[in-house]
Structure 1
Amino acid sequence: MRTQVCIIGGGPSGLMLSQLLHVRGIQSVLLEKHTRDYVLSRIRAGVIEHGFAKLMREAQCGERMDREGEVHDGFYIASNDKLHRIDLHKYSGGDSVIVYGQTELTRDLYEARDRMGGVVVHEAEDVALHDLTMDRPSVTYRKDGAGHRVECDFVIGADGFHGVSRKAIPANLLREYERVYPFGWLGILSRTKPVSPELIYSRHERGFALCSLRSQVLSRYYIQVPLTDTVEDWPDDAFWAELKRRLPDEVAARLITGPSIEKSIAALRSFVAEPMQYGRLYLAGDAAHIVPPTGARGLNTAASDIYYLYHALVDHYAKGDDAGLQTYSDRALARVWKAQRFSWWMTSLLHRFPESSAYDGKLQQVELDYLLSSEKALGSLAENYVGLPY
């Protein structure tokens, strides 16, 4: 099989790039290890920047997002039994975010690929990358027991942290930065009315909590737990009771509980791999970087990678201009590291760290007090939360 761009990874990053390129007349083949049902079963964050939303519209698959997504002009921080609203619209100069589940984004992208006859190969096993420093790289895989080869101009690795793409970069050229946090997020999904029309981030002496939502009838809640905990340690009643303890009384009193329809624990990690390109291989999304979910930067940072790659590939094929491809890693990493800083700061501000001293706790509270009392600090928070410009 011959194509212009071979994309590895059928999550939202790979699908969006494939769709954007198709709209501009650039051929691609997308390889995904798992089934479509498996990809669509993954529950992920649903707070997206307007830059991401603009890409969805440009990819001709933003209609349902615009119809069903909820525009949020702010969110709350809870501390010491009080709610403090962060006015994103005011402090960012008129911007906001859209709450729309990542599963729904992915479904919209798959439907657009189907509508346009996009080539998406699921259950592609034993994927391997070849001749990445040559003019004609290739990707091999097995499907239903048979071997296949895709010859292409460029390979895009959007196959996540555990994928094969990053591992194809020689170890002596790759530098990895990582911080593993000493706790995780226990999250549940429930068919209940959200406790708040906007997200609530709660700092509490018992640990962090987050009240989020997917729609007005589907709620997503999280509590900070030790990494030694398991889902079995947290039956629904225990989760709801602990969540209420970490929320202001006024919020806990109106919380509607119900059976969980999904429950999982996610470890928190910060990770960056440099560089994000090697020969004709370009990394995007979790294949190159991961952030803690605090601050909703993960999916949005992946989208900025796609923005840079999309425009670089269009310039290559339409103008013969390779400047965007040559500088992709530096441009992407500049925004990646800013997202890393913001996610680390939000995580450090709102979580209880097991090794923290009383002094550390006082500084954390002072940091929050300063944030809530400073127009400039609130402006910085809002600017980063709604998304830095590409």
Structure 2
Amino acid sequence: MAQKLAELRESPESTAVVVIGAGPAGLTVGNLLRRSGIDCVVLERRTRERVAQRQRAGIVETRAVRMFDSWGLADQVLGGAPSDGLMEFRVDGESHLVSDDDDSEGPRARLCPQQVLVQKLTAVYLADGGDLRFEAADISLHDLTGDRPTVHYRTADGTLRAITCTFVAGCDGDHGISRAAVPNGALTAHTFEHGIGWLTILADAPPPARPLLAVSPHGFAAHFARGPHASRYYLQCPPDDHPDAWPDSRIWDALRTRLADPALVPGPITDREIFRLRSLVHDPMQYGRLFLVGDAAHIVSPLGGKGMNLALYDADLFARAVRDSVHDHDDTGLHTYSQRCLRRVWNDQEFSHWLTRTLHDAGDDTHSGPFQRGLARARLDRLFTSRNAARTFAELMTGLNPVPDAGAQNGPGPGAAAARGKASASDW
């Protein structure tokens, strides 16, 4: 083993960027770097089939759609139909439609389940000559504060490999090896437990016409499309509840009651699990030449659909920063990466927290009490009746609300970005 490690140190592979993780964040980084003419290798510990089937988020927000469009990738990687921009809030059975139309011009949000986005990003990356290695085991990161970090891993047949690089993009999620490679004390973790549990259900059942969020004294519930013949449901429950306590009959009875839809059509349940709503932010999002992207740096509670979209935002900022460093010898984007990402992270954390508390407090006052319930109901009334409140909500949902940019430009400036025919990250 010692001899093999010595051989790896003497003759490793070399590339500009090693990307850890082949989810939406990692594959977006890989595709954008390829579009920028920058070599990279994407390492993924799971099989291609497992990655392609993992079902999570279902909406690519307007800002992210326009980001892909600015790179010429929107038509290739975004499946599904454009969203009609409407969400239904059902309060005690009464329906209220809220639009995310902020009167801006350009492509709109897309209904695109995560597994579809991942499949298309994978296909485009490989067709463009990208280097994507599945079943990469025992990945470890070394010399992150040096000029040339090294990534070690083991192939599916047990062969040890090493890759030297200029940058490492940690896109392997909350429990991945990237953040674990950062020494204790180098990052500050800001955490928040919402004290709320959700039973999440995936079923082969008819999807709703539009995203549905329901408030009632029985607790929060939601219904989202996950393809033309599949649905994702959420039911509020105690954080320490167990899936076995929710047989099919109880699930469908609770959904019909909370969604105020006695005729709700059931279907085979293919997955159910309970998770605790929590929020997490790591600051900074960089250690040496390791840059954390997406869930490796932050977790957002699901309401508002910001988790995957924040990952796509990070991926874009990172790719542009590397492009500017490699092609223009301008490291401004690298130096300000964490600060710029975190401004949007905290912005979206606040919106998600606001929406989470509003929809849960408005329905069930056993947790927060009648005073908090009255406040939450007032916030919903304002959303349904105030044009200004609805517009602010639309800007936050689309991701098009202005976020201060810390006085920093990403890269060489507007002139160079325009010369490349690409928008700067602050233009959409």
Normalised by the length of structure 2, the TM-score is: 0.85
Are positions 1:386 and 2:394 aligned together?
no
Q: Is 2:183 aligned against 1:174?
A: no
Q: Distance in 2 between matches of 1:110 and 1:58?
A: 19
What residue is the counterpart of 2:406 in the other structure?
none
Aligned position for 1:148: 161
Q: Is the 1:61–1:108 contact (alpha carbons within 8 Å) kept by the matching residues of 2?
A: no
Residue 59 of structure 1: how far off its partner (Å): 5.7
- What percent identity do the matched residue pairs reach? 37
| Counterpart in the other structure of 2:139 | 127
Partner residue in 1 for 2:416: none
CA contact (8 A) 2:79 2:116 kept: no
Q: How does 1:111-122 map to 2 (within 5 A)?
A: 111-122=123-134
Q: Is the 8 A contact 2:169 2:292 kept in 1?
A: yes
CA contact (8 A) 1:61 1:109 kept: no
Secondary structure, aligned partner of 1:207: coil
Question: Deviation per CA, 1:329-374, whole angstroms, max 9, x where unpaired?
Answer: 0000000100100110110001147531222222221222222222
**Aligned residue in 2 for 1:74:** 86
Q: What is the RMSD computed on CA atoms of the aligned residues?
A: 1.9
CA contact (8 A) 1:48 1:97 kept: yes
**Cα 1:380–1:127, aligned 2, differ >3 Å: closer, same or farther?**
same
| SS of alignment partner, residue 215 of structure 1 | coil
For 1:30 and 1:160, the matched residues in 2 are separated by: 14
Shift of 1:113: 2.2
Task: Indicate yes or no: 2:393 matched with 1:369.
Answer: no
Alignment match of 2:337 (pick from 314, 328, 332): 328
Q: Which amino acid aligns with 1:139?
A: V
Cα distance in 2 for partners of 1:384, 1:65 equals 24
For residue 355 of structure 1, give the secondary structure of its aligned residue in structure 2.
Answer: helix
Secondary structure in 2 aligned to 1:26? coil
> Could you tell me which of 196, 202, 222 is aligned with 2:214?
202
Structure 1 residues 264 and 43: alpha-carbon distance in aligned structure 2, compared to 1, 3 A threshold: farther
CA distance in 2, matches of 1:263, 1:247: 18
Structure 2 unmatched runs, 5+: 1-12, 402-425
Aligned letter for 1:156?
A: A
Structure 1: segments with no counterpart, 5+ residues: none
Q: Distance in 2 between matches of 1:183 and 1:375?
A: 31
Contact 1:60 1:112 in 2 (8 A): no
Q: Of the candidates 248, 251, 256, which is equivalent to residue 265 of structure 2?
A: 256
Number of residue pairs the alignment of both structures matches: 385
Structure-1 separation of matches of 2:227 and 2:317: 31
Give the conservation status (yes or no) of the 8 Å contact 2:79–2:117.
no
Give the corresponding residue for 1:286: 295
Report how far residue 173 of structure 1 moved: 2.3
Q: Show CA shifts across 1:175-231 (max 9, x none).
A: 00011222222222223322x311111122221111110233222221112222222
Moved more, 53-62 or 335-344: 53-62
Matched, 1:214 2:223: no
Once the 2 structures are TM-superposed, how far is the Cα of residue 58 of structure 1 from its aligned partner? Answer: 5.4
Partner of 1:183: 196
2:322, 2:334 within 8 Å by CA — same for their partners in 1? Answer: yes
Deviation of 1:317 (Å): 1.3
Whole-angstrom distance in 1 between the partners of 2:22 and 2:70: 19
* Counterpart in the other structure of 1:163: 176
